Amino acid sequence: MKFKTLVIKGGTKLKGKVSVSGSKNATLPIMAASLLGETPSVINNIPLVRDIYTMAELLKILGAKVEIKNHSILIDPSKIKNYKAPYEIVKQMRASIYVLGPLVARCRKAKVAMPGGCAIGLRPIDLHIKGIKKLGAKIKIKHGYVIAEAQKLKGTKIIFDKISLGATINCLLAAVKAEGTSIFENASKEPEVVDTIKFLKMMGADIKGEGTSTLIINGVKNLTGVSGYTVIPDRIEAATLIAAAVMTKSKVTIENFIPENLTVFFEKLREAGAKFEIKNNSVKVLPYKGKLKAVDIITEPYPGFPTDIQAQWMALMTIAQGNSIIKETIWENRFMHVLELNRMGADIKIEGNTAIVTGVDELSAADVMASDLRASAALIIAGLKAKGVTYIRRIYHLERGYENFYNKLKKLGAKIKIIMENII
């Protein structure tokens, strides 16, 4: 079978301007939320990446009319007739579970395949199930499916045991149409949750407290589609591009994103000695003198350091002066990139959920393997700096969540190309 391999000749400086695409992790829940409308929704600024096409496919299977044109998607849920999300789709993308809440709210029934294991951790969905049960649904797990039924959903208090973006979304998508008031405590404050709430409010939902850990939801009977909603830019893509510019000591302007959503990342970059100027919705990265300084990070729910930038930060730290301690607290197996970075000459040791990175003078190109979306990004950042030609295999992971990424880097002057290889 033929697979794409990314080939990078390292050592080139990047130059110019690059624009950030729409957020994958905001578009996915907003697409699921559109199922709740009586009328069609049009969502703009969607990233054209594989996970979005997978969600579009799922909505079609459920009976929605879906049309993607340029960076907009029309979703007409008025003829939803199926309440089953099959395993063939869910196994491709875990965010498929987002349809559980809206299907129960809309069809009174849902049958969604249980997502299986994942390269970065166990990724349970117990909090989704617990919350939707609390809202009045009867849920059982049978033959690999979550089967939910509810004649009526009723407002309730949900205290999430752990901060979870996905569980907050799923319970929210059920609670907006429940009878009465729901209060969510320890809810997720991630910008993608806030964006979904903004969309739901435009549909007619009554929600207060977005961006804080307490959400108050007064259920409403009907929600209407939104005829033009613009999704927020992808803060993780922005951070990845910034890291690529810092790594290569380049002068690059990253445009069209919300810098406030990356405050902790910028603080860490500043501490590390990177040079950059933040404007309203862009940042200009400038070359710094000497070496970056080693800076420790701990991944945490928003507004803490995002787990989705941990791998990219580690790539930067491989060439920093000193030791940096990187602690991953969200996913138990999100260090698959470590061995690959070490193959490129990095010096990283793992102790439990902590990686100790000792900065080296230079990285050297190697044949490496991407294990997930953000690991792919980290290997690209390392490859842009490493001496020689790096081959990154299994780069299909990158296409799940980064739109047109190779071309964006190519336009900035990176020596990068895709080749097709036979992999047994």
Query: In the bound complex, what is the minimum distance in angstroms from residue 299's beta carbon to ligand EPZ?
Result: 8
| DSSP designation for 257 | S
Decide: 24 and 231 in contact? Cβ < 8 Å: no
Tell me which long-range contacts 330-336 makes (C-beta under 8 A, separation of at least 24).
Answer: 330/121, 330/299, 330/300, 330/301, 331/120, 331/121, 331/123, 331/307, 332/121, 332/122, 333/119, 333/120, 333/121, 334/120, 334/121, 334/307, 334/310, 334/372, 334/374, 336/119, 336/120, 336/371, 336/372, 336/375
Q: Which is nearer to ligand EPZ, 37 or 115 (CB)?
A: 115
Least separation in angstroms between CB 204 and ligand EPZ: 24
The distance of closest approach from Cβ of residue 139 to ligand EPZ in the complex, given in angstroms and rounded to an integer, is 13
3-state class (DSSP) for residue 387? strand
CB of 308 to ligand EPZ, least distance (A): 5
Of 64 and 95, the one with the shorter C-beta distance to ligand EPZ is 95
Report the residue number, 236 or 316, with the smaller CB distance to ligand EPZ. 236
For CA atoms 353, 338, 165, 259, give the dihedral sign: positive
CA–CA separation, 30 and 177 (whole Å): 16
Nearest distance from C-beta of residue 345 to ligand EPZ, angstroms: 26
Nearest residue to ligand EPZ, scored by beta-carbon proximity:
166
Active site residue 107: no
Residues 16, 65, 79, 118: which is the catalytic one? 118
Q: How, if at all, do strands 181-185 and 157-159 pair?
A: parallel
Q: Which amino acid is it at 366?
A: A
Nearest residue (CB) to ligand EPZ, 249 versus 337: 337
| Closer CB to ligand EPZ, 166 or 359, in the complex | 166
Q: Would you state the structure tokens that stand for residue 390, as one six-digit string? A: 């790096």
The residues with which 340 forms a beta bridge, in sequence order, are none
User: 243 to each of 56, 225, 313, how far by Cα in Å?
Assistant: 31, 38, 7
Nearer to ligand EPZ, 16 or 124 (CB): 124
CB of 95 to ligand EPZ, least distance (A): 4
Total residues belonging to the chain = 424
Task: Report helix, strand or coil for 62.
Answer: coil
* Cis omega (within 30 of 0) for bond into 303: yes
| Residues binding ligand EPZ (CB under 6 A) | 25, 28, 95, 121, 123-128, 162, 164-167, 192, 307-308, 330, 373-374, 401
Catalytic residues, which ones?
A: 118
